[in-house]
């Protein structure tokens, strides 16, 4: 069982306009989409698609929170969400000829007592692994994540920003930074894959059993006490990169829970991400017959960099 925690979920609102309006004018559109969002929620959606046992928890409030409940229920995602007095945030993306514009809310201010409610929700499902992912709402700091990691003997995984990674004090089974977050966490340059490998190994020594770093077109790398391995991205026609990192993490975690094999987990993560980027939109694709894709993932051993 993998329980995901999203402290600051969102309803993602995407609209398409021909051009951004000038001040005092109105732009109209027939293109609008609403999705239940948040990194932990996304990972639970992909885990469900993979057939893994998962529950999504987090903080939701008001009519936007109810929308998230309804959407996840419709998608058959098991949830144990915690109600708050505030309003779940709305994040808006505007697609126009000039480019993509994003307006993200910080989220509702919440009290630290709600962390205990989230821990209670997690404990109800006796998970082997707990993922805490995404931004923190106003009122909560990195200590909220540490409290979850220290609440029980489950393996805690984090997918948070680089500065938050720096501030964590507990021990963690895994963290998943992207390239920018990795650079922020260790304050090192990460221009090459080798730079990323060294940075990931440096971060690992700060309280993370494993570091799995997503590098976009440069693939994924894993640093642990037993391995320092890079996996190249598969050559697929990329339609949309939205959700690729969350999908990759879902693949990695599902395999770690199933077999514990790190290289197999890395292969599955890359294979799952390749399915997601080949499709447009946020719909979870079919993950049937992943074995062939996993067998195509090329691994490079960088353990010599430790010598």
Helix, strand or coil for residue 156?
strand
Q: Please indicate whether the domains covering 1-18+31-172 and 175-307 agree at the CATH topology level.
A: yes
Helix, strand or coil for residue 79?
strand
Q: What pLDDT was estimated at residue 280?
A: 64
Q: What pLDDT was estimated at residue 236?
A: 79
Residue 130, by phi and psi: left (phi above 0), alpha (psi -120 to 50) or beta?
beta
Q: What pLDDT was estimated at residue 282?
A: 67
Q: In whole angstroms, what separates CA 178 from the centre of its chain? A: 10
Compute the 3-state secondary structure of the chain and give helix, strand, coil in percent, each to the nearest 5: 35, 25, 40
Nearest to 79 by CA among 103, 58, 107: 58
Residues 6+ apart with CB under 8 A from 125: 1, 3, 55, 80
Q: What pLDDT was estimated at residue 237?
A: 74
Please give the structure tokens belonging to residue 267: 């292969």
Q: Torsion angle, CA of 181/139/110/72, rounded to 10 degrees?
A: 0
Per-residue pLDDT of the chain (307 residues; tens, 9 = 90+): 999 999 999 998 888 888 888 888 888 888 788 889 899 999 999 999 999 999 999 999 999 999 999 999 999 999 999 999 999 999 998 888 888 888 999 999 999 999 999 999 999 999 999 999 999 999 999 999 999 999 999 999 999 999 999 999 999 999 999 999 999 999 988 999 999 999 999 999 999 999 999 998 899 999 999 999 999 998 877 776 778 899 999 999 999 999 999 999 999 999 999 888 887 666 788 888 889 889 999 999 999 887 6
Q: What pLDDT was estimated at residue 176?
A: 97
What is the topology classification, in CATH, of domain 1-18+31-172? 3.40.1190
| Full 3-state SS string of 163-178 | HHHHHCCCCECEECCE
Contact 107, 87 (CB under 8 A): no
Nearest to 8 by CA among 87, 101, 119, 92: 87
Domain positions in the chain are 1-18+31-172, 175-307
Q: Which residue has the tokens 């732009």?
A: 27
Nearest to 132 by CA among 142, 299, 124, 123: 142
Residues 6+ apart with CB under 8 A from 78: 44, 48, 54, 55, 56
User: Which candidate in 246, 261, 291, 301 is catalytic?
Assistant: 246
Contact 148, 120 (CB under 8 A): no
Query: Is 246 a catalytic site residue?
Result: yes
Write down the CATH number for the domain with range 175-307.
3.40.1190.20
Contact 60, 83 (CB under 8 A): yes
Instruction: Count the helices and strands in the chain (H runs, E runs).
Output: 10, 14
Pairing of strands 31-37, 10-16: antiparallel
């Amino acid at each position: 069982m993998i329980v995901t925690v999203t402290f600051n979920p969102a309803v993602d609102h995407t609209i398409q306009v021909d051009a951004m309006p000038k001040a005092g004018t109105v732009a109209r559109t027939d293109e609008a989409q609403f999705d239940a969002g948040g990194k932990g929620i996304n990972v639970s959606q992909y885990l469900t698609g993979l057939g893994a046992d998962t529950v999504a928890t987090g903080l939701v409030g008001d009519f936007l929170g109810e929308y998230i409940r309804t959407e996840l229920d419709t998608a058959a995602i098991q949830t144990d969400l915690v109600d708050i007095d505030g309003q779940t945030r709305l994040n808006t993306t505007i697609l126009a000829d000039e480019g993509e514009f994003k307006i993200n809310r910080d989220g509702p201010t919440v009290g630290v007592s709600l962390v205990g409610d989230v821990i209670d929700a997690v404990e109800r499902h006796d998970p082997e692994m707990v993922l805490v992912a995404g931004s923190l709402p106003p009122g909560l700091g990195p200590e909220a994540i540490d409290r979850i990691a220290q609440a029980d003997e489950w393996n805690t995984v984090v997918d948070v920003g680089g500065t938050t990674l720096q501030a964590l004090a507990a021990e963690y089974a895994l963290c998943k930074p992207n390239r920018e977050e990795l650079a922020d966490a260790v304050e090192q340059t990460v221009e090459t894959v080798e730079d990323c490998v060294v940075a990931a190994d440096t971060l690992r020594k700060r309280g993370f059993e494993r570091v799995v770093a997503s590098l976009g077109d440069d693939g994924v790398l894993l640093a642990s006490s037993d391995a320092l391995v890079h996996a190249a991205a598969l050559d697929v026609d990329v339609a949309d990169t939205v959700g690729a990192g969350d999908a990759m993490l879902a693949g990695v975690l599902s395999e770690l829970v199933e077999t514990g094999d790190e290289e197999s987990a890395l292969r599955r993560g890359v294979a799952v991400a390749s399915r997601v980027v080949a499709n447009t939109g946020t719909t979870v694709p079919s993950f049937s017959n992943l074995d062939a894709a996993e067998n195509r993932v090329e691994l490079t051993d960088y353990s010599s960099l430790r010598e």
